[in-house]
Structure 1
């Protein structure tokens, strides 16, 4: 038989597409033709395959080998198709037996070793969803692949092992010299987050952080250098509930794709924390690259926190580009080769100084910035972006008394319990609408089934009529009020809850 077919997976974003790897052996001059829109790394597989099979004891036949990756119109990227191509080619040559509907994933070394590849988790999940139960992966990726239920996983460290499993003579195959295996990749943020007990003073900041965690709200921290903005932001993930199975699978899939071949032994349960430097480019933050776009910080922070320290120092185009994923919870990246869609449901935390020198606090006697410089600095945060930030607070300098008594501060574990209870109340209330947190609610729900009495919202309506609030801001104040009510165990917001939500809405910007 001169024709054979195996299966692999092409990832576009974290969505996997099944690929038929067809191999044909023809009586023509020796050569290797690869079809099906391969990228540069995949094109190089022709040489990897030839060397790997030769050094494993069963070389490719001295004929023309044609490999087609179907569907041919789908762009293919990376080296994960190497193993499927070898198996298909040698099956077509009659050197090994056919394996049926088995999916092969793995990169080949020139010595015949099988190396780990990124994106194993979403690739195996795609195979299982498509009805494939048998999946062959590199030995280093076995534990990650086994995180997907419903799949029979086989792990091999070299081609010789695969050949023997497919009926080749164990005495004719060659095993590569023992190589040091890569250390398992530790899942990010599995270590405990810093504790809230370390934060001195900042009673309003601690309360705002608790509200943000309970309702999934975005947060702006404005204050002088050294006041504790970064400390507060870094402790947000420590009071967030652990991820459920669905969210954990999505988050682990994104980090598996971004790991460069690292391995995950368990699903990521702790919400991720991403803090890119202010010099980061738009592709680094949003995702991108040549060919099929790769995930950026907004996707790596999915179901976690994206912290932008010194936010006004970021390019304004980058900051404004965050507006779309903040609303939709996903990022769509269009390129000439393909369109990739990544989840991006994160909590945005911005930190900034009140002015370029950072001393424009209180009476501002020590500030060296002109009024124009102050407006220009904070003006880098556009109105439409700030309109999407639910909680905007001022973080003042810490006094010596607060610093001396900081040992009595409430720890993260106590705050986390209240956050869990508030989240549970939200899930019960919002379940009929298919929503999880107050931050997910929209105007249709807030002004429909969850509509509050007009007497309670009178001041809120007045702020909107005076131009202090937009329609979006109106809804976001209502969301925050519902979260405050959930934290206090109330069945619905009171006027006090609405007043506090409105206070936190513009506290930082009104101080400018």
Structure 2
């Protein structure tokens, strides 16, 4: 007898329906076709053990399982459940007339219990788009799938529960998930807040500007100055995620298997901080079956690279294209997938190997040329994509012990949201939503300055020895500062403030 069911395969951040056909004919052996990998082929042993546990039998005939489209590679253990149900249905051990109305996925243990799988959210979206009645999957993944409305999400704990549900012997109420309620309830749940930071008002101001314009930032300062602490608080002042952004971010984390046990919607902007020993594949994504890397996991959020010069140069260079295009394309011989990577880059570094160059109290012990060699580990093209260079100095004892309450993240975020709204209205015809996204030609058209501003900028370029690449960056940042001040034009004070955020472009900065 021929039985047909449906599963799904995840490619990139999207899913594709896989038809699972099971036919039992005269002969021997269990055959899997359709380019299954080793994990799929090993499902025979898990399925047979689970059958015995629930008093079913593996047919002693030729069992042919075809997974279509047959020219696409199938990977992972999540096909255990649909294959098992197909075998039982084809051998007339169960009667499941609604088998074809559901997408079914789940990895089985030897005793028939189901284990959670990855990529549930894109599969659920694909199931709804293809008109399936519902999605049968492990209980642990049910919350994640229920984010998708107009789809019956049936969570089952083991093989027998799935069988009894399909035979009509067990009623399982489809799980309901109020996506909007969950989204708005946890939208502002940030553990770190700027109210806990004493002093560093100039750095807070720079991060506010960065958040308002979507600018990348590098912080240069000695150990213990608070660079990491400040970076961790940046997501708390970024505009809240929209529901679309939350779903998009959740899809990426689902594919990577990074969601919480409950599989809830990602409602806060991601903050990713990979160690400096990270490989280029781990950072941008890849592998035989391409998986999202750290830059995609930071999509719609912040990627923090601590001690930037310690990262391998090859790792840093692979970020250049994603920073410009806001996506990364992973190409293989038979497949090419796109992962979104629209993130804010926040980097930190010591000014020299010992960490105390330009320190107000401690002496630098680095030899002549060491400081410049240390800075040269960061290439010009990468530095060209970082708009703000901020010098961080240690907080004094008086600042640390003062009782004055610092401004909290909510107050800063309000100003950031207003500035972003101005930018969105200005750039909507170009499909952009922040000043940092503007290409060079658009900068010339939008970031107009008066004669006094041109003289100031010319003087700064000459006296401070600013590089040519600093010109566009200063104009972008000054436009953001003007937006924060609710000013239609870029005034001379906006330019002056933007100029001070180009430390690493100054001639002789490193001696």
Q: Is 2:161 aligned against 1:150? A: no
**Deviation digits for residues 320-350 of structure 1, max 9, x if unmatched?**
1111111111122234563332111111111
2:82 match: 84
- Tell me if the contact between 2:194 and 2:233 (Cα under 8 Å) persists in the aligned partners: yes
- Tell me if the contact between 1:117 and 1:261 (Cα under 8 Å) persists in the aligned partners: no
1:12 match: 11
* Separation in structure 1 between the aligned mates of residue 234 and residue 127 of structure 2, nearest angstrom: 36
Secondary structure at the counterpart of residue 371 of structure 1: coil
* Separation in structure 2 between the aligned mates of residue 459 and residue 127 of structure 1, nearest angstrom: 59
2:313 match: 316
The match for 1:242 among 228, 232, 240 is 240
**Deviation digits for residues 48-67 of structure 1, max 9, x if unmatched?**
12222332233232111111
* Separation in structure 1 between the aligned mates of residue 419 and residue 471 of structure 2, nearest angstrom: 22
Gaps of 5+ in 1: 171-187
2:226 match: 228
Q: CA deviation at 1:364?
A: 8.8
- Tell me if the contact between 1:36 and 1:72 (Cα under 8 Å) persists in the aligned partners: yes
Equivalent positions of 1:32-43 (< 5 A) are: 32-43=30-41
Q: Is 2:486 aligned against 1:489? A: yes
Change (3 A) 1:404 1:169: closer
1:164 match: 164
* Separation in structure 1 between the aligned mates of residue 259 and residue 411 of structure 2, nearest angstrom: 37
Q: CA deviation at 1:261?
A: 7.7
**Deviation digits for residues 63-119 of structure 1, max 9, x if unmatched?**
111111111222222112211212222222233223233211111111111221111
Deviates more, 1:130-139 or 1:450-459: 450-459
* Separation in structure 2 between the aligned mates of residue 123 and residue 260 of structure 1, nearest angstrom: 16
Secondary structure at the counterpart of residue 221 of structure 1: strand
Give the RMSD, CA atoms, in angstroms.
2.6
* Separation in structure 2 between the aligned mates of residue 428 and residue 133 of structure 1, nearest angstrom: 41
- Tell me if the contact between 2:213 and 2:480 (Cα under 8 Å) persists in the aligned partners: yes
Q: Is 2:487 aligned against 1:500? A: no
Deviates more, 1:271-280 or 1:431-440: 431-440
* Separation in structure 1 between the aligned mates of residue 488 and residue 241 of structure 2, nearest angstrom: 25
The match for 1:452 among 429, 434, 448 is 448
- Tell me if the contact between 1:217 and 1:391 (Cα under 8 Å) persists in the aligned partners: yes
Q: Is 2:299 aligned against 1:302? A: yes
1:393 match: 390
* Separation in structure 2 between the aligned mates of residue 190 and residue 161 of structure 1, nearest angstrom: 38
Secondary structure at the counterpart of residue 132 of structure 1: coil
Equivalent positions of 1:273-422 (< 5 A) are: 273-289=271-287, 291-336=288-333, 338-362=335-359, 366-405=363-402, 407-422=404-419
**Deviation digits for residues 424-457 of structure 1, max 9, x if unmatched?**
2222222222222222222343334x25256345
TM-score w.r.t. length of structure 1: 0.89
* Separation in structure 1 between the aligned mates of residue 333 and residue 459 of structure 2, nearest angstrom: 49
* Separation in structure 2 between the aligned mates of residue 108 and residue 202 of structure 1, nearest angstrom: 54
Deviates more, 1:230-239 or 1:486-495: 486-495
1:174 match: none
Q: CA deviation at 1:217?
A: 1.0
* Separation in structure 2 between the aligned mates of residue 93 and residue 377 of structure 1, nearest angstrom: 69
TM-score w.r.t. length of structure 2: 0.89
Deviates more, 1:427-436 or 1:160-169: 160-169
- Tell me if the contact between 1:21 and 1:84 (Cα under 8 Å) persists in the aligned partners: yes
1:175 match: none
2:22 match: 23
**Deviation digits for residues 395-420 of structure 1, max 9, x if unmatched?**
11222232233643212221111112
* Separation in structure 2 between the aligned mates of residue 202 and residue 195 of structure 1, nearest angstrom: 14
* Separation in structure 1 between the aligned mates of residue 96 and residue 364 of structure 2, nearest angstrom: 78
2:433 match: 436
1:180 match: none
- Tell me if the contact between 1:221 and 1:352 (Cα under 8 Å) persists in the aligned partners: yes
* Separation in structure 2 between the aligned mates of residue 119 and residue 249 of structure 1, nearest angstrom: 13
Secondary structure at the counterpart of residue 34 of structure 1: strand
The match for 1:209 among 201, 207, 214 is 207
* Separation in structure 2 between the aligned mates of residue 397 and residue 352 of structure 1, nearest angstrom: 14
1:424 match: 421
Change (3 A) 1:446 1:128: farther
Change (3 A) 1:58 1:378: same
- Tell me if the contact between 2:353 and 2:370 (Cα under 8 Å) persists in the aligned partners: yes
**Deviation digits for residues 295-339 of structure 1, max 9, x if unmatched?**
221111111111111111111111111111111111222345633
Deviates more, 1:362-371 or 1:410-419: 362-371
1:140 match: 140
* Separation in structure 1 between the aligned mates of residue 344 and residue 258 of structure 2, nearest angstrom: 25
